[in-house]
Amino acid sequence: MIEIWHYLLISLGINILMFIPAYIWKTDVFTDLSYALSFIILIIGALLLNSFSAVKLVVAIMVVIWGLRLGIFLFIRIRKIKSDKRFDGIRESFPKFLRFWVLQGLAVWVILVSALLFMISPASEVFWLGAVIWLLGLLTESIADLQKYRFSQISHNKGRFIRSGLWKYSRHPNYFGEITCWVGMYLLVFLSLGQSEKVLALASPLFIMILLIFVTGLPPLEKSADGKWGKDKDYIEYKRKTSVLIPWLPKN
């Protein structure tokens, strides 16, 4: 039987394998694709290698839908921007670039751990409100990403910040949706997990919250936005009125 730790090794293996062509060709195309693909491969593998139930199939489909949406969106984005500034000065360094891929493989496993634990569990009891929360999160990040992409495609918006649609109510609605997805997944599978598994599975929503709120999400984007528009009166007013993460009515 494949244990939960084995999926970590599989995730690391997928990302190290994808690192090889990315490093050889010095390209960023594989980076985000491998991230989304790792989720899809792991959840399909977990579905096929463990006891089957209709509910487990539903959870697997949810993860696949999430992964496909993310993968397609990121692929379209990288085709447009050609390269990711995050890797400037890193993709040329074997140890630095490899470290990123190893950390990405670890991150995939941690984020997906609640769903994986459910897949290897003999129980199939779920809390359906979690699925509703997951769906709301998926819709939020999907709509937010689409709105920002369409905004960026309009020529006269070049160099401007978006403050319409969901972005009127949050400066980072896509990140709020992402966090909501994995909170919903945790709640969905909670009832089928043992006590120790509940604690381990909690790493999934906690990790994505910490990552997006304190590490790779809000801090660099807020800093970048302040650098671009920090002296813009409209941006200063937008920032004052608009919630940084949780969508809410603008302040007066």
Mind listing the pLDDT tens digit of every residue in the chain (252 residues)? 689 999 999 999 999 999 999 999 998 888 888 999 999 999 999 999 999 999 999 999 999 999 999 999 988 888 887 778 888 889 999 999 999 999 999 999 999 999 999 999 999 999 999 999 999 999 999 999 999 999 999 999 999 999 999 999 999 999 999 999 999 999 999 999 999 999 999 999 999 999 999 999 999 999 999 999 999 999 999 999 999 999 999 998
pLDDT at 112: 98
pLDDT at 1: 63
Regarding whether 98 and 35 lie in a shared domain, the answer is yes
Structural domain ending residue among the three candidates 122, 146, 176: 122
Regarding whether 26 and 117 lie in a shared domain, the answer is yes
* Cα–Cα distance, 197 to 131 (Å, whole number): 19
Regarding whether 190 and 151 lie in a shared domain, the answer is yes
Regarding whether 221 and 131 lie in a shared domain, the answer is yes
Q: What is the pTM of this model?
A: 0.95
Per the structure, the complete domain to which residue 55 belongs is given by: 1-122
Structural domain ending residue among the three candidates 69, 97, 122: 122
Structural domain ending residue among the three candidates 60, 90, 122: 122
Indicate the number of domains in the chain. Answer: 2
Sign of CA dihedral 223, 174, 14, 82: negative
